[in-house]
Amino acid sequence: MERIGYLCRQVMVHTLIAMITKESIETAYCLLHQKLRVYLYSNMDWQKDDIEYAIASFVTSMPKELYDDLSEGRPDFLLDHKRFVDDMTLAVNRLEQMLGI
């Protein structure tokens, strides 16, 4: 029975990924990867605020299926200041997996 549940989850994951275009994954990866690098090495609070704002804006235009997959159902994913770096790192790692990087 547990094996059947696992197989059902795998089918759902493959179906979800099929609904997300490679282009949307690449776009998200390029933006998030670049912004994360700048954010990590920036010493300017205004620059970090601008990056958080840009990512929040991007999230609103990101395909829902992609955001849902990255966020694992967390509605504040990439939007919570306290978790921003952790969320960005997690998102970049997941996108790399999707792209096979």
Give the tens place of pLDDT for each residue, 18-76.
578 999 999 999 999 999 999 999 999 999 999 999 999 999 999 999 999 999 989 99
Q: What is the model's pLDDT at position 95?
A: 96
**Can you read off the two tokens belonging to residue 66?**
């992609």
pLDDT at 94 over 70: yes
Count helices and strands (H / E) in the chain: 5, 0
Taking alpha carbons only, the member of 84, 75, 8 closest to residue 45 is: 84
| pTM summary value | 0.78
Is residue 88 a contact partner of residue 78, using CB atoms and an 8 Å limit? yes
